[in-house]
Amino acid sequence: MALKHKTPMLDELMKGPWPSFVTDIKRVAERKPQCDDILGLMELSYKDREGHWKHGGIVGVFGYGGGVIGRYCDRPDLFPNVAHFHTMRVNQPASKFYKTDVLRKLCDIWEEKGSGLFNFHGSTGDIILLGTTTDQLEAIFYELTHELGMDLGGSGSNMRTPEGCVGRARCEWSCLDTQDIVYDITMRYQDELHRPAFPYKFKFKVSGCPNDCVAAIARADCSIIGTWRDKIRIDQEAVRAYVGGELVPHGGADGPEKRPLDIQAEVIDKCPTKCMEWDGKNLKIWDEDCVRCMHCINIMPRALRPGEDVGATILVGSKAPILEGAQLSSVIIPFMKMEPPYEEFHEFVGKMWDWWMEHGKNRERLGELIQRLGMREFLRATDVKPDPRMVNTPRYNPYIFYDPDDVPGGWSRDPKAYRERHQP
């Protein structure tokens, strides 16, 4: 079948060694008119150098306030098959492991009831079903829940779908059960995920170690990053093997060739705290000075491993630069054991959310609220004690908001007594 729309500009993107979404969509467009029209619409955007989607329209499934994003095309006259083209977000299994049977069923449902187009995956982590009509939403939701045991993810002012790194399922460095933490948060807060009741969105992301493969520190209101408090485990034999050129440095990340590791230049000099020493036979690490940056472990994975007293550093508040300047998440709890049922963690989350929901303005992220009301208020609300690990440096402006409770007599004064000591 010939396609309805000519797409000379898009066709340029069928060339080249990288997988082409145009080639992919074209083969489905042979049988699905939505795909034919979306290519036509894209071609028009390429010609106009402007998008052609309108936003908004409240659409969703009954009882949920999120998970579906309404989308309408602004040229339904030319592209009637994508006039209504809503997105559904489907909550992915933590770390995105799949078996093919579930993917095949998902394809069958989506081929029948939607455009057949996906994002695998959206930036937050969900499987994105890209393009269907309002009348199909309930049917798709029914089949997702009944046939796949899957549910919708978050959108709007709610908890967004949490995600984590591959963790202990396949990474020797993980200090956390990342999947279990993600699953626990997702299940415990289903209501918060599906029914927006927050000032704005709220994201959790979990990385098993400070390498932070899911970028938790940059894109989560609450970042959970695995770490350890004891000593890096050293296999001196293996260290000597790296130096002697019997093992491939960096796990082969710079090429598979064996070569003698220049341990001084490549490891010790790169250590941010200079807390290591090599005497030609043994590697010494002053663990009390180690900041757990992971570099030495990354370079000598067979010789060094994180310690065994593991837990998480909890950071909060990555947020937009929009008014005061952007922020990464900041350390709130330097170390917390993370073991099921994660009571201590959830207690913290409860206090954090209560404070945010009480004081947060509409569309104010947690990090912005902390900036507006001050870290002190946040720490008080969550019962966390100040700790030097929370700052890069103590403040260097002298404008301190002293607390009347900390000053003898509070802020009440005795003007008469003062004037007895001082003449006006």
Read off the tokens for 163. Answer: 């995600």
All residues at 6 or more sequence positions from 21 whose CB lies less than 8 Å from its CB, including other chains: 13
Q: Which is nearer to ligand SF4, 11 or 118 (CB)?
A: 118
Q: Does 404 bind other proteins (CB under 8 A)?
A: no
Name the minimum Å distance from CB 226 to ligand SF4: 6
Read off the tokens for 148. Answer: 């796949």
Q: Does 398 bind ligand HEM (CB under 6 A)?
A: yes
| β partners of residue 304 | 234
Name the minimum Å distance from CB 10 to ligand HEM: 19
Q: Does 296 bind ligand SF4 (CB under 6 A)?
A: yes
Residues 163 and 215 sit within 8 Å (Cβ to Cβ): no
Give the distance from CA 257 to its chain's centroid. 34
Name the minimum Å distance from CB 377 to other proteins: 21
Read off the tokens for 298. Answer: 């990354």
Q: Does 258 bind other proteins (CB under 8 A)?
A: no
CA distances from 389 to 164, 312, 348, 382 (A): 24, 14, 18, 17
Q: Does 371 bind ligand HEM (CB under 6 A)?
A: no
Q: Mapping DSSP to helix (H, G, I), strand (E, B) and coil, where does residue 197 land? A: coil
Q: Does 231 bind other proteins (CB under 8 A)?
A: no
Q: Does 389 bind other proteins (CB under 8 A)?
A: no
Q: Which of residues 280-309 bind other proteins (CB under 8 A)?
A: 292-295, 298-299, 301-302
Q: Does 102 bind other proteins (CB under 8 A)?
A: yes
Q: Does 174 bind ligand SF4 (CB under 6 A)?
A: yes
Read off the tokens for 417. Answer: 């007594």
Q: Does 340 bind other proteins (CB under 8 A)?
A: no
Q: Which of residues 190-229 bind ligand SF4 (CB under 6 A)?
A: 207-209, 211-213
Please identify, among the stretches 114-122, 134-142, 165-173, 359-367, the one whose residues bind ligand SF4 according to the rule CB under 6 A.
Answer: 165-173
Q: Rounded to an integer, what distance in angstroms lies between the CA atom of residue 99 and that of residue 101?
A: 6
Main-chain dihedrals φ then ψ at residue 141, nearest 5 degrees: -60, -40
Q: Omega before 121 cis (within 30°)?
A: yes
Residues 342 and 308 sit within 8 Å (Cβ to Cβ): no
Residue found under tokens 């036979």: 281
In which element (H, E) is residue 138 found? helix 137-143
Of positions 3, 13, 294, 379, contacts ligand SF4 by CB under 6 A:
294
Q: What does the per-residue mask of binding to ligand HEM show for 19-58, with x meaning CB under 6 A?
A: ------------------------------------x---
Of positions 203, 211, 314, 384, contacts ligand HEM by CB under 6 A:
203
Buried b vs exposed e over 206-224: b needs ≥16 C-beta within 10 Å? bbbbbbbbbebbebbbbbb
Please identify, among the stretches 15-23, 274-282, 337-345, 395-403, the one whose residues bind other proteins according to the rule CB under 8 A.
Answer: 15-23
Please identify, among the stretches 18-26, 104-112, 170-178, 338-346, the one whose residues bind ligand SF4 according to the rule CB under 6 A.
Answer: 170-178
Buried b vs exposed e over 96-129: b needs ≥16 C-beta within 10 Å? eeeeeeeeeebeebbeebbbbbbeebbebbbbbb
Q: Mapping DSSP to helix (H, G, I), strand (E, B) and coil, where does residue 324 land? A: coil
Q: Which is nearer to ligand SF4, 150 or 209 (CB)?
A: 209
Q: Mapping DSSP to helix (H, G, I), strand (E, B) and coil, where does residue 16 land? A: coil
Q: Does 373 bind ligand HEM (CB under 6 A)?
A: no
Q: Rounded to an integer, what distance in angstroms lies between the CA atom of residue 393 and that of residue 272?
A: 17
Name the minimum Å distance from CB 224 to other proteins: 14
Name the minimum Å distance from CB 412 to other proteins: 37
Residues 164 and 80 sit within 8 Å (Cβ to Cβ): no
Please identify, among the stretches 32-40, 173-181, 252-260, 390-398, the one whose residues bind ligand HEM according to the rule CB under 6 A.
Answer: 390-398
Size of residue set near ligand HEM by CB under 6 A: 24
The contact set with ligand HEM (CB under 6 A) reads 55, 69, 71, 87, 119, 122-124, 203, 218-219, 318-322, 326-328, 363, 365, 396-398
The contact set with ligand SF4 (CB under 6 A) reads 165-167, 171, 173-174, 207-209, 211-213, 271-273, 275-276, 285, 290-297
